[in-house]
Structure 1
């Protein structure tokens, strides 16, 4: 099997695993928990194959980490989310997000009524979810 195909399978598997973990947090269903554990086993199995086939183990772990972050909606290089073009998808109504305007201005906004509060500031071209709030250890 081609290594690139294994990486595609790993990305699909880890994405499904992250989705199942989020679903389990909401539903608390034993069936979802079992499916999540099974999916984790599949992801780990693919990763073990990649570790055997790739020569540089560090590269495998770095790429796996980047794919895991991507599945979580986080850019591993910046620690923030990814910009989502408004042409592609809008945030949920009454949600606080980071918005980028057509002039490059970036600020936090609440998405309500199709950005109408911000019409005088220019056009919103992309947005990203806010990061998790700070929690003291």
Structure 2
């Protein structure tokens, strides 16, 4: 009898875990649909290209938007999100970034990254040179 109860418990626990994983994946997919990786990559490439000599900009943008396999990035992001965030957090992210305010914020994210990236790069280079 103990074995039957134990097996029933294991079955219920594994079903519950599978359901939560499925719900987490659905929430992460909803987030990724609200914040398409291809749009983010394209926006970021255009803004980052401003840091590159003008003669090389078009090639850089073309490389970033045609040669980068967005589906691989999306798959990696989906897996990482499901492993990292709770269901509640994933739903909150999907809700926010799916809203008008969230979409507006994401539309500005590439510009933001392009503005902050030079400072990040300078600080990293400074820290590396001090370590040497």
TM exceeding 0.5: no
Higher helix share: 2
Normalised TM-score (structure 2): 0.32
Larger Rg: 1 or 2?
A: 2
Higher strand share: 1
Normalised TM-score (structure 1): 0.31
Larger relative CO (CA 8 A, sep 6+): 1 or 2?
2
